[in-house]
Structure 1
Amino acid sequence: MILGFLASHGGSAARFLTAACQDGRLMATPAALASNNSGSAALAWAQEAGLRTAHLSAARFPDPGELDRAVLAFLQGAGVDTLVLSGYMKALGPQVLGAYAGRLLNIHPSLLPRHGGRGMYGDRVHAAVLASGDAESGASVHLVTAGIDEGPVLAHSRVPVLPGDTVDTLRARVQATEGELLLGALREFQ
């Protein structure tokens, strides 16, 4: 398995999975990371880690079709056969979605289908969980499709929502489960 990553900010999933490849927990090769944010910590980290990198954004490719083609060419040029979104904050185009259908994963910080969809990312998700009165939260690994957070869910982690929880405390508990959850889901692809 040749892994590629798309990230907008820190790229924690890419970092975790790359470490899992290096220490033998995942039989895969991390090959490439592209970011839509030229100043992202993920892009800087990936360059230092020796991954092939690219800044691919609407600023560089204003036409959505051209950007879609550029992302696909970058990933295919690196030999990527499995793509992981690592905090990627942009919708993917039809060419990337088609080329990686069934091998394109994302992790979302709620128990999908609850608290997913447009505008539901980061702390907004945890705030929505708390506002809803849900007794539990967690993370979901899902296949990426054209609809935001609508692809088939492959795995969930579950954490309780505790009395007195804040966005920060709930986020910390959910994030603590994400790396192993994503790792387990990717092992199913081997």
Structure 2
Amino acid sequence: SPVCLAGFMRLLSADFLGHYAGRVLNIHPSLLPAFPGLHAQRQALERGVKVAGCTVHFVDAGTDTGPIIAQVAVPVLPDDDEKALSSRILAEEHRLYPLAVRLAVTGKVTLDAARTRVEARATVGELALRNPGATVDPA
């Protein structure tokens, strides 16, 4: 079964990662590899991106550098501040993480070397790409 991290602010030891290889998951409030580490939403706003989001990934020895399991895009709105963007991303994190954990527990997502393998049926139904707010008026 997986080890699930959320808001974990420390790097894990090589011994720990070796023992739980391919079973440690984390969620991060950006579309990795963009904006790893602290204050991802602030980083996104400072860079002026139009799309932010969240990522569930396998944990490796780096900071938010592990193979990606799933992502959800969240539009950055013109009047967004860090709090507003963070709130919308958090809502998607609460939806995405349980799905990714379920895929890991049922063996539908695995780590093969440094690459994530997701069972094809999972990408069609359970983990289909979703863009909340896609109907936002571009004008």
TM range (shorter): 0.7 to 0.9
Aligned-pair RMSD on alpha carbons?
A: 0.9
Name the SS for the 1:139 alignment partner: strand
For 1:104, which of 12, 17, 24 is the aligned residue? 24
Q: Could you say which structure has the larger radius of gyration?
A: 1
For 2:74, which of 134, 159, 163 is the aligned residue? 159
Q: Is it true that 1:86 corresponds to 2:6 in the alignment?
A: yes
Residue identity matched to 2:9:
M
Aligned ranges 1:105-144 → 2 under 5 Å: 105-116=25-36, 120-121=37-38, 124-144=39-59
Range with greater deviation from structure 2 (85-94 or 134-143): 85-94
Moved over 6 A (4+): none
Percent of aligned pairs with the same residue? 42
1:131 to partner: Cα distance: 0.8
1:125 to partner: Cα distance: 1.1
More helix by share: 1
Gaps of 5+ in 2: 107-139
Higher-RCO chain (CA-CA 8 Å, sequence separation at least 6) = 2
**Whole-Å Cα distance in 2 between the matches of residues 82 and 125 of structure 1?**
25
| Equivalences, count | 105
What's the TM-score, normalizing by structure 2? 0.73
Q: Deviations over 1:17-63 (max 9, x none)?
A: xxxxxxxxxxxxxxxxxxxxxxxxxxxxxxxxxxxxxxxxxxxxxxx
